[in-house]
Amino acid sequence: MSKLVTIYGGSGFVGRYIARRMAQQGWRVRVATRDPNEALFVKPYGAVGQVEPVFCNIRDDASVAAVMDGADAVVNCVGILAESGRNTFQSIQAEGAARVARLAAEKGVARLVQISAIGADADADSEYAQTKAAGEAAVLAEFPSAIILRPSIIFGSEDEFFNRFAGMTRFGPILPVVGADTKFQPVWVDDVAQAAVKSVVGDVASGTYELGGPAVATFRELMETMLTIVHRRRLVLNIPFGIAKLIATFGGIGQALSLGIVKAPITSDQVKNLRVDNVVSEGAQGFEAFGIVPTNMEAVLPDYLWRFRPSGQYDAIKDSAKNLKHS
């Protein structure tokens, strides 16, 4: 019988790419998610019955254990960018990761892969970074042979980074950003998925790997690249951290008063995160250990950002038409 992998958060941005690649490897894939009905799109990743979405609440021992039964390997992709109700950084990124690792060890799972993030640091100002580090520490304490993957900011057709800012270009001549000089090393989601699969099948040794793309760029430079791709001219305006903190404070109050209907444009924790460069550390193990050459973002971004161009898919045609000469 084919081996089985349980992917927690397997219908999320990164998880769905890992699920697809694991199915292509011939594995049975159990996609653990909060809403299986919203994850039915994963079923065609494999043959009939090969990929199945199942309910799981990562905050609950019994729920996590139930979807792990019989698994040969486990991948934990669950993470949040902002807290909401009981889904706090502590409960999801620290306690959730610890729960998955503890139960995997108890059940004798052969391999565990934890998707973390560059910047995970117990001494960071950001609670996001602190809890990512706490999750890593708990995973290694419970499952010492685990593989931890730390990607930089991830791009891909479902991302919440380039898509968000490209969407903002539709509404005015100014594109505001916080931390314009902060450096990132964007990495393609499918490269991260490929590294996760190689980790599951045993192609690399246990340890921590930092995954960054081939280029380092500031936030401002990333936005300028995006603007070129969407064929729009906008002023990239840096919002000072002090002002951004005030915006986050009042935005949080507005979100609370509206019971979450009005979303804060940025959180105080995200402001703290944006103060720190998000690049691969000097001397860290990376893609070279997997034999993967990371993909340049300029080769991928046009494939999904074209819809933010003034005329969408017809923008290139209109540009060509301007060059036509009437005889």
Q: Which domains does the chain have, with CATH numbers?
A: 4-155+186-211+278-294 (3.40.50.720)
pLDDT of 264 reads 87
pLDDT of 260 reads 80
Tokens for 209? 């790997």
Residue 327 scores a pLDDT above 60: no
pLDDT of 313 reads 74
Overall average pLDDT of the 253-277 stretch: 91
* Beta pairing partners, 6: 30, 74
pLDDT of 88 reads 96
pLDDT of 319 reads 62
pLDDT of 84 reads 87
User: Picking from 22-26, 61-65, 110-114, 249-253, which range would have the lowest pLDDT averaged per residue?
Assistant: 249-253
Burial, 49: exposed, middle or buried (Cβ in 10 Å; 0-12, 13-18, 19+)? exposed
Percent of the chain surpassing pLDDT 70: 96
Count, in order, helices (H) and strands (E) of the chain.
12, 13
pLDDT of 223 reads 98
More confident residue, 320 or 134: 134
Q: What are phi and psi of 105, to 5 degrees?
A: -65, -40
DSSP, collapsed to helix, strand or coil, labels residue 237 as strand
Residues 6+ apart with CB under 8 A from 274: 178, 179, 182, 219, 241, 244
Residue 316 scores a pLDDT above 90: no
Which string of DSSP letters, residue by residue, matches 71-125?
-SEEEE----SS-BTTB-HIIIIIHHHHHHHHHHHHTT-SEEEEE--TT--TT-S
Confidence of residue 323 (pLDDT cuts 50, 70, 90): low
Residue 55 scores a pLDDT above 60: yes
- Model confidence pLDDT, tens digit, residues 210-258: 999 999 999 999 999 999 999 999 999 999 999 999 999 999 899 888 8
pLDDT of 256 reads 86
More confident residue, 255 or 45: 45
Q: What share of the chain is helix, strand, coil (3-state, %, to 5)?
A: 45, 15, 40
Overall average pLDDT of the 294-309 stretch: 96
Residue 325 scores a pLDDT above 60: no
